[in-house]
Amino acid sequence: MDSAGGQTLENLVDEQTSRVIDIYTRSPVFKGLPESELQRIASKTQWNEYAKGRDIFQAGSPCTSFLVVLEGLVKTSVSSIYGTKITYLLARQGEPLNLIGPFTGKPRLLEAVAIKTSCIGSIPREEFLSFAWENPELITNIISILGFAIDSANNRIIDLVEKKVDQRLYKVLYTLYSKFGPRLYLTSQELADLGGTTVESTLRSMKKFRMLGLIKTRRGEIEILKPEELKKSGRDVLWV
């Protein structure tokens, strides 16, 4: 971490690889794998930096490598031809962006955008696959994450059919709180995309929440004051 001058290229590479190993150790995808295997796959990981707002991949593009967030924050979303956009995962350090793609190679609906300047690790599809076949634990992790994603999507569907905007936003806010803590750096538009509603409705709901003393808002920032109150409205949490 102390980058005092005079380092050789090898030292730099080693340092980077060891950071990747560290990230993978805590990643839901690589969780439980032996250190030696983590080292092996970390050494095949390429870093790429994406400026805030840049596309990482677009809907319909074929998959050539496994992608994982190393630093920053990435939004994966699905949009319709009419422009409606649903954000379905805010991926941070250690979270994968495309679990299906490496296996099928086929394009999918998702698109990913860096919402902070981010570093993305990429492992060529073939490398990733042969690594996966040698590590059943990894496969189990992947299938389990996919199960979580499906459950979460089904929860969203139920909520859309049955719950009102306020309650959906309660749930989104509580989920974000669980993952990122009490300070959320999101605009109302981004929140609306997570809750499946419009900016206007979101702003109106936020006003209510503010008056109830549940949150405090500033431009581009929401502070959760009473998470327990938000929690009340629904035990099952989304995957966000």
Partner DNA sequence: TGGCTTTTATGATCATGATCATAGAAGAGA
Partner DNA sequence: TCTCTTCTATGATCATGATCATAAAAGCCA
Residue 62 binds to its own copies (criterion: CB under 8 A):
no
Q: Which is nearer to its own copies, 93 or 155 (CB)?
A: 155
Residues making up the chain, counted from first to last: 240
Give Cα 102 to chain centroid, integer Å.
17
Radius of gyration of the chain (CA): 19
Q: Which is nearer to DNA, 99 or 160 (CB)?
A: 160
- Tell me which residue has tokens 């490496």: 102
Residue 86 binds to DNA (criterion: CB under 7 A):
no
Amino acid identity for residue 52 in this structure: K
Restricting to residues 161-220, which ones interact with DNA according to CB under 7 A? 164-166, 187-189, 197-201, 203-204, 206-207, 217-220
Q: Which is nearer to its own copies, 119 or 138 (CB)?
A: 138
Cβ(158)–Cβ(150) below 8 Å: no
- Tell me which residue has tokens 């095949």: 44
Residue 140 binds to its own copies (criterion: CB under 8 A):
yes
Residue 139 binds to its own copies (criterion: CB under 8 A):
yes
Q: Which is nearer to its own copies, 148 or 185 (CB)?
A: 148
Residue 160 binds to its own copies (criterion: CB under 8 A):
yes
222 sits in the region (left: phi over 0; alpha: psi -120 to 50; else beta) called: beta
- Structure tokens, 29: 């995808």
Total Cβ atoms within 10 A of residue 7: 12
Residue 82 binds to its own copies (criterion: CB under 8 A):
yes
Q: How far is the CB of 116 from DNA (least distance, A)?
A: 13
Please identify which residue in 175, 197, 202, 205 interacts with its own copies, judged by CB under 8 A: 197
Burial (CB count within 10 angstroms: exposed 0-12, middle 13-18, buried 19+), residue 104: exposed
Q: Which is nearer to DNA, 16 or 187 (CB)?
A: 187
Q: Which is nearer to its own copies, 17 or 79 (CB)?
A: 79
Q: CA–CA separation, 60 vs 62, rounded Å? A: 6
Q: CA–CA separation, 193 vs 178, rounded Å? A: 18
- Structure tokens, 106: 């086929």
Please identify which residue in 93, 117, 155, 187 interacts with its own copies, judged by CB under 8 A: 155
Which residues are near its own copies by CB under 8 A?
78-80, 82, 84, 86, 88, 99-100, 103-104, 108-110, 133, 136, 139-140, 142-144, 146-147, 149-151, 153-158, 160-162, 196-197, 236
